């Protein structure tokens, strides 16, 4: 197994910073009401599907 080079560590650090920046941007983004409504509808449909499978 080869040892990671300094360049590999630098690339990893840059990637970690990019991920941290993206996560911060996502956390600050407002969730549209329509997306929330669709997520709730999907959740309800999945619950209903699971109940149907249990009754079969």
Residue 4 is predicted with a pLDDT of 58
- Residue 6 has a pLDDT of 63
Tell me, what's the pLDDT at 17?
A: 93
| pTM value surpassing 0.85 | no
Is residue 1 predicted with pLDDT exceeding 80? no
Reduced DSSP (H G I as helix, E B as strand, rest coil) percent helix, strand, coil of the chain, to 5: 80, 0, 20
Taking the C-alpha atoms of residue 32 and residue 35, their distance in angstroms, rounded to an integer, is 5
Model pLDDT for residues 3-56, shown as the tens digit of each residue: 556 667 778 888 899 999 998 998 898 888 999 999 999 999 999 999 988 887
Helix H, strand E, coil C: the string for the chain is CCCCCHHHHHHHHHHHHHHHHHHHHHHHCCCCHHHHHHHHHHHHHHHHHHHHHHHC
Residue 2 has pLDDT above 60, yes or no: no
What are the backbone dihedrals phi and psi of residue 39, each rounded to the nearest 5 degrees, phi first? -65, -40
């Amino acid at each position: 197994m080869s040892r990671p080079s300094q360049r590999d560590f630098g690339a990893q650090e840059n990637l970690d910073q990019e991920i941290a920046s993206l996560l911060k941007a996502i956390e600050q983004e407002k969730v549209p009401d329509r997306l929330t409504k669709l997520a709730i509808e999907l959740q309800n449909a999945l619950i209903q599907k699971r109940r149907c499978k249990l009754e079969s």
